[in-house]
Every structure is written in structure tokens, then in C-alpha cells.
Amino acid sequence: MRQVRTIRYRQIAEELRARLEGGEFAVGRLLPSEAELSAGYGASRVTVRKALEVLRAEGLVDARQGFGWFVAGEPVRQPLARLGTLEAQLAELGVRSERRILDFAFVKPPAAVRRVLGVDRALRVGRLNLADGEPFARVTVFCPEDLGALVSRAQVTESSFHDLLPVELGGAVQTIGAAAASASDAELLGIPVGSPVLRCERVTADSGGQPVLIAEYVFPGHRTEFTVALPHVESSIAPSGLRLVE
């Protein structure tokens, strides 16, 4: 009986390996749940898990708490040392990027946005960014109405606000923290509700220090890493530009 189970999990591993190598699942894509795989292969979850562990040992799949199993691959590492667009960072890594506009409207912004931008009306642009065809980030950008009136939906589909706004940009402040995927973000990003995500808020100012853009980025936690260069050796746990938030 034990020998039959051993053969079965290796058979399942071979079939899953063929599906992975055949391109059925892209890098970072979540696999069907263990329960779904068990039903599909007519095997117990213990047997399916042993098959998945074989593939994990080969570096083909991996698992994270809150996500389940997914196709293994190098996470997209984004440097925090300089101000740049998401598309430019992906291009530098050799990753094909695409943006899909979900929302383009002039609205009364949330109180937190009004407080930072100092306006009662703003252009809100929502989009989904894809990396090599897979959902990579949900992005929402607000800018003052007078500046937003100078750009079109077609333009923000092809270019970033950094390139479109007729102002000289100064610097930005980014706040990054962990969160749980909402139902809407889970649907857009193809991840389980409540699974770990990284939330990045970027406030970009013009050369005079006036905030002109607020952007929220939500990334699946298993696909993204942020990196910070440490140019100087200092007796501190925090690199330049980072601070702890209590």
C-alpha cells in the first residue's frame, strides 16, 4: 500500500511538472488549491502535498502562508534609492510591463488626500499594472484638478504623470507597509482575499515642495521586494532615507 502511494505522488509530480513546463501557469501565478488538485487527480491532499514538495525541491514551485502554492520565480526587486516609474523599473529588469486603466474621473478626494494636496477636487486614475502579462500592482493616483485637466485617459494609458505634468518634480516620500488583500484587490491581482500584500504610498512634490501627486500601490507579497542601497557604513540599523513608523 505504501508503495502505491509513493508511485502516485510521483505520477502527480510528473503531470504537474509537464503542465508547468508547458506554460500553463506563468511565473508567480497561483496554482489550484490542494483541495482542487486533490479532486482533479483523485488523490488525497497528503499525496498531492508530497507531489508539490517534490516540485518545490526542484525549484519549480513554492508556497507562502496566506497564498498557497505558486509557480516559483525571482521576485521583482524595486530599488528605493531614486524616484522613478514602475514601468521604468520593470524595464530595467527585463520585464515586459503593461498598464490597464480601470478608472479616470474627477472626484472629491478622500480627506487624507485633500489634506495633503490642499484641493477639494482631484483627478483620480486607477489602473492595473501587469508584469510579463500577469497582474503585478493595483495603482490609484490623485492629482489636483487643474493639473489633471491637462491630461487625457489615452495619455495616462501610455505615459506616467511624471512625463505628462507640466511641472518640475522635486522629490517624493514613500511609506511602505504590510496589509491584507481586500476582496476587490484580490480579484484584480488574482490572489486570495486576506493574503499578504505590500502597500506603498508615494507623495510626490514639485520643485517648490508642493505635493502634486499621491499614489497608492498594492503589490502581491509573494512577487515583490523593495531594496535599499547602503552607500555608507554607519552605526545605525536604518539606512539613509528610511525611518521607523510607530
Question: What CATH number is given to the structural domain containing 86?
Answer: 3.40.1410.10
φ, ψ at 122 (rounded to 5°): -150, 155
Q: Is residue 88 domain-shared with residue 160, that is, in the same domain?
A: yes
**CATH number assigned to the domain comprising residue 32:** 1.10.10.10
The position carrying cell 510521483 is: 10
**Predicted model pTM:** 0.78
Q: Are 212 and 167 in contact (CB under 8 A)?
A: yes
Q: Are residue 54 and residue 88 in the same domain, yes or no?
A: no
Q: How many domains does the chain contain in total? A: 2
Cell 493595483, located at residue: 138
Give residue 190's domain range.
76-227
Are the CB atoms for 212 and 143 separated by under 8 Å?
Answer: yes
Tens-level pLDDT at each residue, the chain (246 residues) = 455 445 899 999 999 999 998 888 877 788 999 999 999 999 999 999 999 999 999 989 888 877 789 888 777 777 666 556 677 777 777 778 889 999 999 999 999 999 999 999 999 999 999 988 888 899 999 999 999 999 999 999 988 898 899 999 888 888 888 899 999 999 999 888 888 899 999 999 999 999 999 999 999 988 887 777 666 555 544 445 545 444
Among residues 99, 139, 104, 138, which one has the least CA distance to residue 122?
104
